[in-house]
Structure 1
């Protein structure tokens, strides 16, 4: 869309001496509205608007708290990428021999930031000022200034040389989608920032794992303990949706339930803030329109508190509350592999997905020491994975359909094929249950006494916590049917095989049957 000018810049001081004095003041340059222009999205399909840059409330707060290393957890569309692009441009224009960089998740995003924020602000400087700052290089990813040898550039990595100012945009999404790039940022780009430099990492939340999640946890802990930060420590910055003045709708247009008002009242008490009726209306309308059935996505994109940004929703989730209780009692921990047989519990999905849980019993406790899943592989692949783990196996529990013959090159059942691949191993095909909810209740019952290794079972735990019902827009709620689309059903179904075996008292007997038993002595009388 085209950009339309809606508001002129404030006038520069007409007195040359006064102008020079003002230009020496970084705060005046950023706050006065005299130097930089930005593009903002117009409402209701309007063209982009060109406005003088003036930091909003959240941006001003960030500037006041700026540290050597900064970690921003935020709601969407608060303008931090724009702010930092202007700050880096300003720093490069007025300081010699400086290298300023911006990292984005991919090259297209990096070039868009450069074109619409950095280069746009430079090209729209007042003409009398722009003449002072000629370019020695002008490309799609870098501006190098001829008057002082400083530059601003963008990319997906900043490994080479010293970077005096570095901004990593949407690092949570980089960690989730491009873990190799995230590792490159951590090992290559971040160390390029000197101790006296400035590093800003900002993102909305993106799941409960990855470098961004871990870094936020450390920065939050430092903030909570009021630790005196060194230049190598990250200062934690959090900016909620309710801090953005634009996020509001007329309360008369949105129905807000009592439970929703209770939620907002709780946030007000926890965050010592005020969420007025029009803000509440905007939040409820946004959640209903954009995130119906995906409450955790609303928390990620528009968090009310830092903890909420990474929170897993219990709404519509079969086991979320049970897993919360399990974590509270210490059920997710580090578990050693004991010198006892390992039972396995399988689910072999119809779309070539397979999940396997590994369990040991010790003193009445069921200890899940490992988990494995993969897709689009044949049974030989899974057998090779089991052998590579080096466990001594007890019984392999298979789902009911593993006994069905499959029309294939061999016309054998899954059970028969596994027995051929693993001769001498013991397999047990569990009976089919008539109602899914019976198996769900069995899982909930036996989660109360289970323990999981937090490292080897990490993916499996995520599958249990993410096992959800289908959301029906027609019914405006969840229906009692598992959501097969989010990748969690196979891991959850495999764990249900364990609960069903436990209910049928099969585990102890199966384990004993595969352990060594002393043969009875011969009858001396014969």
Structure 2
């Protein structure tokens, strides 16, 4: 920074209330990141420059692990000037109002954004900056070790010295474990697990993929409650490693990638509220190298790197290959899928999942090879359209729509949602019927649909919540629909095997059933934590509902030989009076 003799009380006064002529002179100066200010005017000019503040390394400091220290020594920390690395500079060059980052690990994006938010709050009045993490503990660490650390290590001419009587240029009016508020301009930086109220001019969602994998409802709340708090001119950054082909991060990132590719191909600018996709693979990081003499590569490894080179159009050095294999074996325990997620080569690989331990991998692969998963299937009005349900009690609800056409059973639609009542699903099916002219066959419900439960959102006078079964509630909502209760199987695996046995007759509309197919791909077995490998029991997770709904087809499909003459497509008949019953399907 400036020479010690220049950093004095006079300069602080100048910075706080600089005369107009000095400000004019400062703003007229040309400032570059490598400039070292030697005068009051130069210092004001530098502090007025965002590029100088972020890129010079002369203002902010961060903590980093000592590269020369032992790997197990957690106390080996260096305090170094913050200078954006290659990946961070690339991101800043393409910074947009809405940003999604899919990345390899340890590229420093959380640190970068913490510095950006701190800088914005320090130099702009009445701003609100927020950082969301998957736990309050992790959020607090980000505030303490990245935001507060950088603030507390600013030059003393900005934050004053210990024992100083007068207020410094920058000072805190509030300092807690979750928020700091600046007294000099009323701007603030806070951390949380969600941010619903108020306006946030800068919002960062850290590791959104992990939030979605562990807390899908929290991820949904972030999308519906936190993201809308950022105004059109504000900046949002969602960053994460991948966590499979499902969840809010997957949906936002894949849409953003497609839209960004279209914009780049056509030369169009992204709209302010459109997401800009950023991808940072492991092979772009210069530090990810290792001595090839320390690592043995298998023929499968060599084949992988040859395929990688053909995809990215560049060579992967022996040092990079050695680093990748060593990291996979030592850090990820030889798990290729973890490497795809934590250190992706391409965006497609980041979402890729191993088929080990999944129930329907072979069946889906055969369906694709045989052309039974197609972009679109015809929606016939001359045959019955049946539905197959899994009704969640505390989980989601999934519904497959299918038509029997000769020896084929065609799945032409898939519906899923969480925390919605039965009326919601009836309306969705009405919409599908109106759109495609469907004539309903049987609506196949799981065996527990006849069990009576207290239903949410179903208060009746003073008696409290109504006690009904799902079948009763649905029949009351749609008296003219045919419902069929599928018998229970002794073990779930018997139902799964029934699906696998008849899967060769299944056809899928890949567009209408996209989400359902992802769930079938990821539907997996429980891991055996004692002996390793997998058990013969299914894992209950966000993919279960779609698979359980599909089981109803194999376990108890009830065909309809003919459609009664009076059963017209929805919208062409008079609707019977509905009883005012809802029922939350949770």
Which residue of structure 2 lines up, in the alignment, with residue 38 of structure 1?
Answer: 62
SS of the residue 1:113 aligns to = helix
Aligned residues: 457
2:169 paired with 1:110: no
In structure 1, distance between residues paired with 2:528 and 2:296: 21
- Note closer, same or farther for the CA distance 1:275–1:317 as it changes in structure 2 (3 Å cut): farther
Aligned counterparts of 1:244 and 1:367: Cα–Cα separation in 2? 46
Residues 302/228 of structure 1: CA separation in 2 closer, same or farther (3 Å cut): same
| Contact 1:251–1:281 (8 Å) recurs in 2 | yes
Deviation track 1:469-517 (CA, whole Å, cap 9, x = no partner) reads 9799999xx79x7475576799879968977x8xxxx98xx8589999x
Q: In 1, distance between residues paired with 2:277 and 2:80?
A: 29
Structure 2 equivalent of residue 361 of structure 1 = 404
The CA distance in 2 between the partners of 1:344 and 1:229, in whole Å, is 40
> Structure 2 residue aligned with 1:51, among 70, 77, 80?
80
Conserved 8 A contact 1:107-1:156: yes
Cα drift, residue 307 of structure 1? 1.4
Confirm or deny: 8 A CA contact 1:317 1:469 kept in the other structure.
Answer: no
1:290 CA displacement: 4.6
Deviations, residues 309-352 of structure 1 (Å, cap 9, x unaligned): 11232356453254256466435868789975969799xxxxxx
Q: Which residue of 2 aligns with 1:523?
A: none
Q: 2:451 aligns with which of 360, 370, 380?
A: 380
CA contact (8 A) 2:246 2:518 kept: no
The answer to whether structure 1 residue 451 and structure 2 residue 508 are counterparts is yes
Give the SS at the match of 1:211.
Answer: helix
Give the C-alpha shift of residue 147 in structure 1: 2.2
Q: Which residue is 1:153 aligned to?
A: 190
Specify the SS of the correspondent of 1:66: coil
Structure 1 pair 325/215, CA: closer, same or farther in 2 (3 Å)? farther
- 1:189-204 matches, cutoff 5 A: 189-204=226-241
Q: For 1:237-276, what per-residue CA distance to the aligned partner results, in whole angstroms no more than 9, with x for missing partners?
A: 1111222233333222222122222222222222234422
Structure 1 window deviating more from structure 2 (13-22 vs 99-108): it is 13-22
More displaced 10-residue stretch of structure 1: 183-192 or 118-127: 183-192
Mapped to 2, the partners of 1:365 and 1:389 lie a distance apart of 29
The aligned residue for residue 577 of structure 2 is none
Deviations 1:269-305 (A, max 9, x none): 2223442222222222332345457533322222111
SS of the counterpart of 1:35? coil
- Preserved CA contact (<8 Å) 1:343 1:396: no
Instruction: Please give the alpha-carbon distance, in whole angstroms, between the structure 1 residues aligned to 2:236 and 2:560.
Output: 59
Distance, in Å, in 1 between the alignment partners of 2:407 and 2:447 is 36
Name the residue aligned to 1:442: 501
Structure-2 separation of matches of 1:34 and 1:164: 26
Q: Which deviates more from structure 2 when the two are superposed, residues 465-474 or residues 141-150?
A: 465-474
Instruction: Tell whether the 8 Å contact from 2:282 to 2:345 is kept in structure 1 after alignment.
Output: yes
Shift of 1:381: 6.4
Q: 1:66 to 1:125 in 2, by over 3 A?
A: same
Task: Output the CA distance in 2 between the equivalents of 1:246 and 1:486.
Answer: 39
Q: Contact 1:342/1:393 (CA < 8 Å) preserved in 2?
A: no
Q: Give the match's secondary structure for 1:78.
A: coil
Per-residue CA deviations over 1:450-472 (Å, capped at 9, x if unaligned) read 33797789568624543469799
Matches within 5 A, 1:493-508: none
- What is the CA deviation profile of residues 214-257 of structure 1, one whole-angstrom value per residue up to 9, with x for unaligned ones? 22122111221124212111111111122223333322222212
Match of 1:285 among 326, 330, 333: 326
Bigger CA drift: 370-379 or 380-389? Answer: 370-379
Please, which of 198, 204, 224 is the counterpart of residue 261 of structure 2? 224
**Distance in 1 of aligned mates of 2:562 and 2:333:** 50
Stretches of structure 2 lacking an aligned partner (at least 5 in a row): 1-33, 161-168, 391-397, 417-443, 454-467, 476-480, 565-586
Aligned to 1:271: 312
Q: Quick one: which of 40, 49, 52 aligns to 1:28? A: 52
Q: Residue 363 of structure 2 contacts residue 500 of structure 2 at CA under 8 Å; is this kept in 1? A: no
Q: Tell me, which stretches of 5 or more residues in structure 1 are unaligned?
A: 1-9, 347-354, 403-413, 415-429, 517-526
Partner of 1:304 in structure 2?
A: 345
Alpha-carbon distance in structure 1 between the residues aligned to 2:95 and 2:545: 46
For residues 359 and 289 of structure 2, the distance between their equivalents in structure 1, rounded to whole angstroms, comes to 34
Partner SS for 2:288: coil
Match of 2:156 among 123, 127, 137: 127
Distance 1:285-1:18 versus aligned 2 partners, 3 A rule = same
Q: Does 2:282 match 1:241? A: yes
Q: Matches of 1:231 and 1:370 in 2, distance apart?
A: 32
Whether contact under 8 Å (2:519, 2:544) holds in the other structure is no
Q: 1:119 Cα deviation (Å)?
A: 0.3
* SS in structure 2 of the partner of residue 238 of structure 1: strand
Q: Give the alignment's TM-score, normalised by structure 1.
A: 0.72
- Further displaced range: 241-250 or 23-32: 241-250
| Alignment match, 1:3 | none
TM-score for both structures, normalised by structure 2: 0.65
